[in-house]
Chain A
C-alpha cells in the first residue's frame, strides 16, 4: 500500500476522532449543560473535523492531479542536464554537416518557387480580358502540385538526415562510455515530441513495475531517476498532508469554547462549498463557450465569415495540408443550415401535432385509468437512446420509404434521406412536446374551464377557445425547446440522413446537418490547426448560438405565461 493511501486512511480516522474531540470538549466546557453553548456540540465536532480533514485532502487532491506531471518535469530536466555535452556535440555536428546544408538550401529554393507560382496564379485569377489564360493557370496548378510534393520529399530527407546524425552521435557516445543517464537525456531532448512522451511513459511503467512497450538500458536509467523523484514527491506530500491535519486538529481544538460560534463557521463553510459547486458549473460553461469562440476565431482568420455564413458550397475534405494552396476546400455552410432546417421542420411536422393532440387527449379527455398507463408509455419513448432511433431510421424507416416510392414508380429514392431522419426524430420528440404541453394544459386554472362550461360551451369549444389560448405561450415554449433539441440531435441524422452536403428542398435526397458535419470533421486522426478541423468549431458555435437563442426565447415565453396566473 502506498504511503499516500496510508496517510489518507489515517486522516479519515483522525476525522472521526476530531469530531469526537470537538463535541466532547464543547460538552465538557459547560459541564454537560449544552443549552448554555452558543452552538450545539455537534457543530463544534463538525468544525474541528472539517479543519482537520479538508486542507489535508485538498493537498492530496493536488498531488493526485499534478504529482505525475511534476515528477515527469523533474526527471526530464535532471536527465537533460546530464546530456548537455552530448547535445552540444550533436549541434556542432549538425552545423558542420554539408548534406544537411545542401538539403536546407534546396528547400529554401523550392519554397521560393512555390511562393512565386502562388503569386502568379493569384494574379492570373484576378486578371481579366486577354490576360486571362485558363490553360496557363492549369499548367501552373500542375507545377504547383509537383512543387508541393518536392517540398514534402525534401523535408522528409532533411529529417531523416538529422535522425541519422543524432543516432550516430548517440552510438559514438555509447561506445565512448558515456553515462546511460546522459544517453537517456539526449534521447529525451532530441526525439520528436511523441517519442519524448512515449519515452517518459515507458520510464514510468518501468519505475512502477508496469509493462513497458520496450526496454533499454537508457530507459532503465531514466526509470531509476523517475522512481527517486516519485518517492520524494510522495513522501513530501504525504508528510505535508499529515502535518496539515494535525495542525488543523490542534488549532481548532483549542478554539472550542462556550461562546465560540461553531455553527456560523460550519454554515459559512457549507455556503462556500455550495457556492464553489455552482461556480464550477458556470466556469465550465464559460470555458466551453470560450474554447468554441477562440477556435472559431482562428477558423475565421482563414475563411471569411461571410463565405462561411452565405457560401453555397461545402466540401472541407480537400484541404489535407496547409501548403496545398490551390485547394483550400469550400466552407460555405448554407447547405448544412438548410439540411438542419429541413430535418428539424420534418421532425416538427411529425411531433407538434401528434404531441399536442395527445397532450390534449391525455389532459382533457382521457379517463384516469388510461392516463395512468399512457403517460408512462409515452415517456418511455423519451428514454430510448438516440442510437436505437438511429438504426430504426436506417434499417426500417429508410427502406420502407424507398420501397414505398418504388411502388409508386419513383425508383431513385435513396435509403438515407432527410425524410427518414426527420420522421424518426419527430417520433423521438413527441414525448418531449406531449409531456411539456400536458403540464402546461393542466396548469390552466380549473376556474377557466368551469367558466367556459358554465357559459354552455362544449368540451371542444372550451379547449379551442379558452384552454388553448391560455396555454399557448407555454406550448410555444415547449415547441421551441423541442426545436432546439432537434437542431442539436446528432445520432439519428448521422445514421439516417446521409452525409452529402446537398443544397436541396427535396426531402427524399440525402442531406447533412451541422451536427453530422462536426462529427465527420473531428472523428479519426485529425490535425487541429487545419481549416477543416477548425470549421467544426465554427459550426459548433453556430449551433450553440441557435440553441441558446431558442432556449432563451422559450424560457422567456414560459416565464411570461407563469406571471399570468400566479
Chain B
C-alpha cells in the first residue's frame, strides 16, 4: 500500500506521518500496518464502516489508547518528525499539542469559563487572571461561541444546547494552542443546523490547525475535508484528495462503500 503514503496536498508540509502502525486490544488486532502522511493546515477525513479501525487510529495520535487496558500500539508515528510513541515523550505533554473532540459533547460539570480555562490552568499557560480571561475569550471567539455565551460565562457548561456544548468542547481544546485537533464523529449527536455550524467552524479552523476528523457521513467528509482516507477491516484501503476518492475511487471496496453498497 505504498501509494497511500504519498502526500496528496503537495504544497502543504507533512504534519503527521504514520508507518506500519498496528493496534491490538487484549491480543485482538484492530489495526493492520497503517501508513499515512497527513498535511498541516487542512482537514483530513477518516471514513469507513463501524469497527473499521478509524477511531482506533485516531486515538493513537494522542496516545489515548494508553488509557485503555490491554491496548498495544506498534509501528512508527511522528508529529513534526518527532516519534510520539517514544518513551521520552510524556503523553500528558503530547496531548497538550494534540487536542481531541469526542462523539458526544462532554463538557465538565463546571462553568463555561472553567471548562475553557481547564487546559490553560493545568498546563500553567496563564500567569494572571486577565491573561486567562484573554485566553478563554480568544478560544470562545475561535470556536464561534463568544457571542452566545459572553454574558453567562459563570453558567454551567452542561446548561448549553448540544451544538453549543460541542463548540464549547472545541473551544476547550483550542485554549491550549494545540497543533493538531482530532475529532471523533463530532456531529453524530447533533441536529443538522448544529452540524452545519460545526462544519463551518471546522473550515475556519483549518487555517491554523491540522484537523483530522472521523465521520460516518460521507457528505460531511466531502463537504469539510481536503483529504479522505477510507478504512476497512482495520486496513487503510485508500487515501487521496477528497475529490478523487469520491469521484474516482481506485479500490472497489471504496467504491462500494461510497455508493452505499455496504456500511
Residue A448 is within 8 A (CB to CB) of chain B in the complex: yes
Q: How far is the CB of A163 from chain B (nearest CB, A)?
A: 78
Q: Complex Cα distance A445/B119, Å?
A: 19
Q: Complex Cα distance A202/B106, Å?
A: 77
Which of B99, B106, B119 has the most A CB atoms < 10 Å from its CB?
A: B106
Q: Complex Cα distance A448/B105, Å?
A: 9
Residue A447 is within 8 A (CB to CB) of chain B in the complex: yes
Please provide the chain B residues from 163 to 215 with a CB less than 8 Å away from any CB of chain A in the complex.
169, 172-173, 176
Chain A's closest residue to B95 (CB) is A456
- Selecting from A31-39, A391-399, A465-473, the interface stretch reads A465-473
Please provide the chain B residues from 77 to 98 with a CB less than 8 Å away from any CB of chain A in the complex.
92-96
Q: Which residues of A contact B100 (CB under 8 A)?
A: 450, 454
Q: Could you tell me if B104 and A447 are in contact, using CB atoms closer than 8 angstroms?
A: yes
Q: How big is the B interface, by class?
A: 20 to 34
Q: Could you tell me if B92 and A451 are in contact, using CB atoms closer than 8 angstroms?
A: no
Other-chain contact of B176, A448, A456, A461, A564 (Cβ < 8 Å): A456
Q: Complex Cα distance A362/B245, Å?
A: 48
Q: Complex Cα distance A470/B176, Å?
A: 23
Please provide the chain B residues from 220 to 234 with a CB less than 8 Å away from any CB of chain A in the complex.
none
Q: Could you tell me if B110 and A469 are in contact, using CB atoms closer than 8 angstroms?
A: yes
Q: Complex Cα distance A455/B122, Å?
A: 9
Other-chain contact of A450, B92, B99, B102 (Cβ < 8 Å): B102
Q: Complex Cα distance A144/B95, Å?
A: 88
Interface string of B32-46 (1 = CB under 8 A from A): 000000000000000
Interface string of B105-127 (1 = CB under 8 A from A): 01111100000001100110000
Chain A's closest residue to B105 (CB) is A447
Q: Which residues of A contact B169 (CB under 8 A)?
A: 451
Residue A457 is within 8 A (CB to CB) of chain B in the complex: yes
Residue A179 is within 8 A (CB to CB) of chain B in the complex: no
Q: Complex Cα distance A455/B175, Å?
A: 10
Which of A450, A469, A470 has the most B CB atoms < 10 Å from its CB?
A: A450
Q: Contacts A448-B108, A450-B102, A470-B108 given: A455-B93 contact, CB under 8 Å?
A: no
Residue A313 is within 8 A (CB to CB) of chain B in the complex: no
Q: Could you tell me if B92 and A457 are in contact, using CB atoms closer than 8 angstroms?
A: yes
Q: Could you tell me if B64 and A447 are in contact, using CB atoms closer than 8 angstroms?
A: no
Q: Contacts A450-B64, A450-B67, A456-B122 given: A470-B109 contact, CB under 8 Å?
A: yes
Residue B235 is within 8 A (CB to CB) of chain A in the complex: no
Q: Which residues of B contact A255 (CB under 8 A)?
A: none
Residue B56 is within 8 A (CB to CB) of chain A in the complex: no
Q: Contacts A456-B92, A456-B93, A456-B123 given: A564-B158 contact, CB under 8 Å?
A: yes
Q: Which residues of A contact B92 (CB under 8 A)?
A: 456-458
Chain B's closest residue to A466 (CB) is B108
Q: Complex Cα distance A457/B172, Å?
A: 13
Residue B62 is within 8 A (CB to CB) of chain A in the complex: yes
Q: Which residues of B contact A465 (CB under 8 A)?
A: 108, 118, 122
Q: Could you tell me if A455 and B106 are in contact, using CB atoms closer than 8 angstroms?
A: no
Q: Which residues of B contact A290 (CB under 8 A)?
A: none
Chain A's closest residue to B172 (CB) is A455
Chain A's closest residue to B158 (CB) is A564
Q: Contacts A465-B122, A564-B158 given: A453-B108 contact, CB under 8 Å?
A: no
Q: Which residues of B contact A455 (CB under 8 A)?
A: 95-96, 99, 118-119, 122, 172-173, 176
Q: Complex Cα distance A451/B172, Å?
A: 10
Residue A327 is within 8 A (CB to CB) of chain B in the complex: no
Chain A's closest residue to B100 (CB) is A454
Other-chain contact of A469, B67, B104, B109 (Cβ < 8 Å): B109
Which of A457, A458, A469 has the most B CB atoms < 10 Å from its CB?
A: A457
Residue A499 is within 8 A (CB to CB) of chain B in the complex: no
Q: Complex Cα distance A469/B110, Å?
A: 8
Q: Could you tell me if A445 and B106 are in contact, using CB atoms closer than 8 angstroms?
A: yes
Q: How far is the CB of A470 from chain B (nearest CB, A)?
A: 5
Residue A403 is within 8 A (CB to CB) of chain B in the complex: no
Q: Contacts A461-B122, A465-B118, A465-B122 given: A454-B64 contact, CB under 8 Å?
A: yes
Residue A530 is within 8 A (CB to CB) of chain B in the complex: no
Q: Which residues of A contact B109 (CB under 8 A)?
A: 448, 469-470, 564
Please provide the chain A residues from 420 to 470 with a CB less than 8 Å away from any CB of chain B in the complex.
445, 447-458, 461, 465-466, 469-470
Q: Which residues of A contact B173 (CB under 8 A)?
A: 454-455
Q: Complex Cα distance A454/B64, Å?
A: 7
Q: Complex Cα distance A452/B119, Å?
A: 8
Q: Complex Cα distance A466/B107, Å?
A: 10
Q: How far is the CB of B94 from chain A (nearest CB, A)?
A: 8
Q: Complex Cα distance A453/B64, Å?
A: 8
Q: Contacts A461-B122, A564-B109 given: A456-B96 contact, CB under 8 Å?
A: yes
Q: Complex Cα distance A448/B169, Å?
A: 11
Which of A368, A449, A465, A564 has the most B CB atoms < 10 Å from its CB?
A: A465
Q: Could you tell me if A450 and B96 are in contact, using CB atoms closer than 8 angstroms?
A: no
Q: Contacts A453-B67, A453-B95, A458-B92 given: A447-B119 contact, CB under 8 Å?
A: no
Other-chain contact of A456, B67, B102, B119 (Cβ < 8 Å): B119
Q: Contacts A447-B102, A461-B122, A465-B122 given: A454-B62 contact, CB under 8 Å?
A: yes
Q: How far is the CB of B91 from chain A (nearest CB, A)?
A: 8
Other-chain contact of A451, B96, B108, B123 (Cβ < 8 Å): B108
Q: Complex Cα distance A455/B119, Å?
A: 6
Q: Complex Cα distance A160/B206, Å?
A: 109
Interface string of A460-500 (1 = CB under 8 A from B): 01000110011000000000000000000000000000000
Q: Complex Cα distance A92/B176, Å?
A: 106
Chain B's closest residue to A462 (CB) is B122
Q: Which residues of A contact B69 (CB under 8 A)?
A: 368
Q: How far is the CB of A461 from chain B (nearest CB, A)?
A: 5
Interface string of A354-379 (1 = CB under 8 A from B): 00000000000000100000000000
Q: Contacts A453-B64, A454-B64, A455-B173 given: A448-B96 contact, CB under 8 Å?
A: no
Q: Could you tell me if B106 and A457 are in contact, using CB atoms closer than 8 angstroms?
A: no
Please provide the chain B residues from 118 to 177 with a CB less than 8 Å away from any CB of chain A in the complex.
118-119, 122-123, 158, 169, 172-173, 176
Q: Which residues of B contact A457 (CB under 8 A)?
A: 92, 118, 122
Q: Complex Cα distance A45/B107, Å?
A: 59
10 smallest A-B Cβ distances: which pairs? A454-B100, A456-B96, A456-B95, A447-B106, A451-B106, A455-B119, A470-B109, A456-B92, A457-B122, A466-B108
Task: Give 6 pairs: A residue, B residue, CB < 8 Å, sorted on A.
Answer: A447-B106, A448-B109, A451-B108, A452-B108, A465-B108, A465-B118
List the interface of chain A (C-beta within 8 A of B): 368, 445, 447-458, 461, 465-466, 469-470, 564
List the interface of chain B (C-beta within 8 A of A): 62, 64, 67, 69, 92-96, 99-100, 102, 104, 106-110, 118-119, 122-123, 158, 169, 172-173, 176
A451-B108, A458-B92 are known contacts; what are 18 more A-B pairs with Cβ within 8 Å?
Answer: A368-B69, A447-B106, A448-B109, A450-B64, A451-B169, A453-B64, A453-B67, A454-B99, A454-B173, A455-B173, A456-B92, A456-B93, A456-B94, A456-B95, A456-B119, A458-B122, A564-B109, A564-B158
